[in-house]
Amino acid sequence: MRTLIRPTGFVDSPFGHDGKVARLAGGLNWFSAVELLGIDGNRRVGSELLPVQGLEDRFDDDLAAQWRHLTAVRPPLQLGERTIRLDQPQVIGIINATPDSFSDGGQFADPASAASAGADMTRDGAAIIDVGGESTRPGAKPVWEGDEIERIVPVIRQLAAGGAAVSADTRKADVMTAALAAGARMINDVSALTYDDRSFEVLAAQPVPVILMHHLGAPETMQDNPRYDDVLVEVYQWLEERIDAAVDAGIARERILIDPGFGFGKTVAHNLELMNGLALFHSLGCPIVVGASRKRTIGALSGEAPADRRLGGSIAFTFKAAEQGAQLLRVHDVFETVQALRIWRGLRDQGLTPRL
């Protein structure tokens, strides 16, 4: 048996509530209550809703560590010369240099057009551009490393030369090495370093951030009737194990980000449950990345709308994630998402303006 802490009871302003609210991960969200989740194995067996005031008096060592993680400031990411602050939500723009990605596969005929689209995303407000050369959509087949390198390296090189902060979306050590040599300064691994054991060695030697994403099974089969005893608990514990594995391999915890992996081996219900419980993941102590843009869940809830008509649902997920303190939103529609987050930021700034 163990207990996990999920922040809840979010408030607009901390003013006048000394000792009654806590700041979530050094960001713009404050919470007044927590749900203590009793965990037995892979599932919740109990729940207790408690106010923040006086809560620390009840903590054992595990809960005290979770609380420190929940309330600690997330230091900025350093991607080469670019500093990405994590005290407010930031946008990662998606560039898929692939023929078969679910939303924009085949959109870019050559590296120059992909790099141009990435530069446009930077101008529209994306803090980071994530370049991928292998589709990991449901049913996708693996791509040979050489092909993947040929697809992404010219794009990364052009974007980095133009001053963009670039991430490489790959699960292969050789591709990581080539991408970093070309100017990428972050790795986004949808396998959380489970696909290629040599990835640990590459990232232990390179002082760059890495995103560890939860998945269930390989892309070819991950949507074939995925099952969990309790998806929120299982994803949490799986990510906890992957963080420990990365740290044990020599990757500094300060360089690790986590992604619950919306759509990667999850049903619509699983995805919605993860989004509703997203704030729980802050107690792992790592910045949270959310990639729900244009995902199948949006289509399922909106009359089977195709991928290019899921902007509204993507923005709804963006707001929900921001409300729970997610630091990075990985999206296709950068301009619209940045605009939505500026409205969200305006609302937060007004709420955090002293009234007296």
Which residues are catalytically annotated?
295, 330
Residue with tokens 């949808």: 190
Rounded Cα distance, 15 and 324, in Å = 19
How far apart (Å, rounded) are the C-alpha atoms in residues 157 and 185?
11
Whole-number Å distance between alpha carbons of 59 and 61: 7
**Which conformational region is residue 143 in: left (phi greater than 0), alpha (psi within -120 to 50 degrees), or beta?**
beta
Of 51, 59, 61, 63, which is closest to residue 22 (Cα–Cα)?
51
Give the residue from 308, 256, 301, 345 showing the smallest Cα distance to 74.
256
CA angle 238, 223, 132 (to 5 degrees): 75
Name which of 45, 35, 33 is nearest 1 in CA terms.
45
Task: Please answer whether residues 295 and 247 qualify as being in contact, where contact means their C-beta atoms are separated by less than 8 angstroms.
Answer: no
Question: Rounded to whole angstroms, how far apart are CA atoms 216 and 100?
Answer: 21
Do 212 and 256 form a contact (C-beta atoms < 8 A)? yes
Q: Which amino acid is at 190?
A: V
Which residue matches tokens 């843009």? 293
> Measured between alpha carbons, how far is 324 from 303 in angstroms, rounded to an integer?
27
